Structure 1
Amino acid sequence: MFIHLGENVVVPIREIVAILDGQLFYSSTIVQEFIDGQSKTKEIIEISTTMKTIIVTLNQIYFSPLASVTLKRRSTQLFETGQINLENEQ
């Protein structure tokens, strides 16, 4: 299954490592250092000029215009409807 991150960007749910509130990037030096360190090995994709959420995947980091609550709700709906079962996902 895939999750829509904004604009025309979708990623496989199984590749998502973390979903972080975008405000942490501005308020937490640890998050800034993490993103800076990860940018050396991962591509950073700015989906929009507005960044509300940081999505860390296996190979990229996305700055999404969608709120982290919206992304959580979308992923939760997929689990609740039984569309996703990570144990059996290949």
Structure 2
Amino acid sequence: MKRIVFVAAIAGVVMVATAAAQPVRDVSAKRHPNLAAAQHLVDQAYKRVVDAQQANEFDLGGHAARAKELLDQANAELKQAAEVSNENHR
């Protein structure tokens, strides 16, 4: 019984931390529709990884956490691409 309570508490903490760490979509869809669409897909993928973690009680060998890190990186790269485009096309 103590183990179930402990696992539930850990899952709750991780869920809160995961929600806070979710990538922010901030590329302008008006100026960069393709980059914004890509950011939307990254956001969807991130949410599916979170769903997989929750369904498997976060026991995915660290691979899901690594996937989320890479999705965060992809999100940042998309933002930088939009910023470069903005600078080059003023």
Q: What TM-score comes out, normalization by structure 2 length?
A: 0.29
* Bigger CA radius of gyration: 2
- As a proportion of its length, which structure holds more helix? 2
- As a proportion of its length, which structure holds more strand? 1
Q: What TM-score comes out, normalization by structure 1 length?
A: 0.29
